[in-house]
Amino acid sequence: MRVIHRCSELRQHLARFDRPAFVPTMGNLHAGHLALVHRARPLGEVTVASIFVNRLQFLPHEDFDSYPRTFESDCAQLEAAGCDVLFAPTEAELYPQPQRFKLLPPPELADILEGQFRPGFFTGVCTVVLKLFALVFGQSKGGGHAVFGQKDYQQWLVLRQMAQQLALPVTLHASPTERAPDGLALSSRNAYLSPAERAEAVQLNLALRRLAAAVAAAVADGATDLAALEQQATAQLNERGWQTDYLTVRRRSDLQAPQGADLAGAASAGQLVALGAARLGRTRLIDNWEF
């Protein structure tokens, strides 16, 4: 695996390949990231991963400084997974001047859920991903492919819409969430959990699955309003010591709350997703469950 730190070297190296397959990451890799690399490998002529902890997508009180940085072990894992190129720029390399040009994703998709609790998050994500796409795919004749994890459900929808609306020469792929044997979604932030919190952490996934089952049953009985079920699920999780930002059921296609006949139609077509974000101690976890 070739490790590249400079943008110019990345461009020069990738110029000889027609269709890169790209996995952007912030490092601290786990089996979820490696599944993305495995998904990417057959898609392109060369498999590229990036590691860059992107300051633009962190709020001032968030964990940018303490975000786990595990470069040596990340390199070993990527190499073993068959990644060909690792792009790991410094901040000064990727943002040589303050990044004043930024992308403004549509508020109806980007200012809800994660965007409501982490204002500006998707602007930061879209801006860095567009810049990484420009570096990785800028010299490729046939466009390319990029793979993202479905754990970050809203991020995936925002980036897919960005690629469509900006006519980027990149096909985006979603890879299913990798889970620990107890069902906890793999996440770099799981590293912050104490042993007791780790044992409790699966409750977020269980709450989403219970909410999905309760909504499916209620809709089958003719219910048209999900607010009471969402509030009940939130109260149950909070009683266990969590601080819940949201536990909600949305349409998969656009993350809007379905109402009335639309809700019944989406439920019977299996087009709903339960999404949740909640804090356990100092760790904020997200997860989702399609049904």
Residues that bind ligand PAF (CB under 6 A): 24-26, 54, 57, 125, 128-129, 152, 155
From CA 44, how far away is CA 153, in angstroms rounded?
24
Residue 37: strand, helix, or coil: helix
Q: Alpha-carbon torsion 249, 251, 255, 256, what sign?
A: negative
Find out whether 288 is annotated in a ligand binding site: no
Taking the least distance from each CB to ligand PAF, the nearer of 25 and 234 is 25
| Tokens standing for residue 79 | 């190499």
CB atoms within 10 A of CB 279: 14
Find out whether 150 is annotated in a ligand binding site: yes
Taking the least distance from each CB to ligand PAF, the nearer of 19 and 151 is 151
13 labelled catalytic: no
Find out whether 241 is annotated in a ligand binding site: no
Taking the least distance from each CB to ligand PAF, the nearer of 153 and 233 is 153
Instruction: Give least dist CB 68 to ligand PAF, A.
Output: 12
Taking the least distance from each CB to ligand PAF, the nearer of 133 and 242 is 133
β-partners of residue 171 are 145
Catalytic residue among 5, 33, 38, 173: 33
Find out whether 111 is annotated in a ligand binding site: no
In 44-66, which positions are buried (b, 16+ CB within 10 angstroms) versus exposed (e)? bebbbbbbbbbebbbeeeebeee
For tokens 């390199």, the residue is 75
Annotated binding residues for (R)-pantoate, written as ranges, equal: 57, 155
Annotated binding residues, written as ranges, equal: 26-33, 57, 149-152, 155, 186-189
Catalytically active residues are 33
Annotated binding residues for beta-alanine, written as ranges, equal: 57
